[in-house]
Amino acid sequence: MPAPAIDLDAITARRFQRRLLLLDEPRATVDDALVHHGYVQIDPINVCGRMHDLILRNRVAGYREGDLLRFLHGDGPSRPAATRTAFEHHLPDTGVLVAFPLEAWPHLLAAMRSRSRRRG
């Protein structure tokens, strides 16, 4: 049985959505924001800023351009795999590159294995 509908006024609905999207209280770290959202799309094109930087700068306290990629790979030589808490991979069944929290890895294994067996 579906849950009963909730009747909200516009201001309460707006506040709920702002909180859900982390626009009222930024998280302390990139990792916290990734875990909350599930993933963030990585944008290779810089028109007025890369989309992942624009998204995270309002959701992570003190975020600066490039922090996501530094978080994923380190600043300098690539971060050893054992120390990573997130990774980048294509969103299943799309060509969209995203950053996932490490907790997503087991849920993506089937899609990764399937993709590696495909031709092309």
Mean pLDDT of 10-31: 94
Q: Residue 85 to residues 31, 47, 73: CA-CA distances in angstroms? A: 7, 29, 10
Residues 15-23, mean pLDDT to the nearest whole number: 93
Within 8 A by CB and 6+ apart from 39, the residues are 91, 98, 99, 100, 101, 104
Higher per-residue confidence, 54 vs 118: 54
Residue scoring higher pLDDT (63 or 117): 63
Residue 120: pLDDT over 70: no
Contact of 62 with 68, CB cutoff 8 Å: no
Does the structure show a pLDDT above 80 at 117? Answer: no
pTM, to two decimals: 0.80
pLDDT tens readout for residues 29-56: 999 999 999 999 998 888 899 999 999 9
Which band of pLDDT confidence, cut at 50, 70 and 90, is reported for residue 4? very high
Summarize pLDDT for 51-106 with one digit per residue, the tens. Answer: 999 999 999 999 999 999 999 998 888 888 888 899 998 888 788 999 999 999 99
pLDDT of 115 > 80? The answer is no
**DSSP 8-state secondary structure symbol assigned to residue 60:** B
CB neighbour list of residue 54: distance below 8 Å, 6 or more residues apart: 48
